[in-house]
Structure 1
């Protein structure tokens, strides 16, 4: 695949310093970024919320970070990401990693693309210096530059 981070994470997928009253509102923001970028339909946002309701807050993968996603479905039009930085962190119910201030929305058209994008995000976020820089980044271009390493 020759797609770039810009393809998977266009400017329209960013919602920076947004308020959310709870975890559902935070996931709805991630869904809005995916939908505004043409990656998903509104139904995918409901699928992401439903996944957490059924499976619990396993999407909170590290302190302060949730990777909102659901299985590939008809609601996914293209593989892509959204990036939501919350103005005030919210609780997802994950004692080890709450509260969450960064919600990354992930939509995969199929298992292969889903895993490729997840692995790129995991690699970028495994570096503590990168993770701290992401909190301070002010623009989509700055965030993409950090993710591209």
Structure 2
């Protein structure tokens, strides 16, 4: 599974979205995967529930979150979504996030060996954050990922 292929296949890049709460932001992030048949609705519900229980364990860097849950929570196929927000939302631990990358992985191996390294590589360059925040079109995001 590559990040780029998944985003194109699932039509799951959404830019400059409006969200008032972290729940709304996570919903906007996971909904394209529900719509594409990559995850069941209960996967989104599981992420919200787990965040309320454990906090946002999936915040990877300032401003960047990767909402996800266990494969058995409703993952149908390995996939990603990519969402930027007009303005950051505050998560339960006080951290602000305006870039969300939804992850659905069918196994912990996919999560650890394929998904995480792709995200780390994308955001390894500090300038990537600014380019992503300024992007106005899905083509700009696709260009960054190539």
Same fold (TM over 0.5): yes
SS for the counterpart of 1:73 is helix
TM-score, normalization by structure 2:
0.89
Q: CA deviation at 1:34?
A: 1.4
State the distance in 1 between where 2:56 and 2:125 align. 23
Assess if the C-alpha contact under 8 Å between 1:60 and 1:94 holds in 2: no
In structure 2, runs of 5+ residues without a counterpart are: none
Query: How many residues align structurally?
Result: 144
Q: CA deviation at 1:74?
A: 5.4
Q: Counterpart of 1:132?
A: 130
Q: Counterpart of 2:108?
A: 111
1:35 pairs with 2:34: yes
Q: CA deviation at 1:79?
A: 0.5
Assess if the C-alpha contact under 8 Å between 1:81 and 1:104 holds in 2: yes
State the distance in 1 between where 2:80 and 2:89 align. 20
TM-score, normalization by structure 1:
0.87
Higher relative contact order (CA 8 A, sep 6+): 2
Going from structure 1 to structure 2, the CA distance change for 1:47 and 1:129 (only over 3 Å counts) comes to same
Question: Aligned Cα RMSD in Å?
Answer: 1.7
Q: Counterpart of 1:94?
A: 93
Give CA-to-partner distance per residue, 1:60-84, whole Å, 9 cap, x none. Answer: 2211111101011151111111111
Give CA-to-partner distance per residue, 1:92-146, whole Å, 9 cap, x none. Answer: 0334xx2111111110011122221121011111210122211112222321221
State the distance in 1 between where 2:2 and 2:105 align. 15
1:16 pairs with 2:15: yes
State the distance in 1 between where 2:73 and 2:91 align. 27
Runs of 4+ aligned structure 1 residues displaced above 3 Å come to 3-6
Assess if the C-alpha contact under 8 Å between 1:29 and 1:84 holds in 2: yes
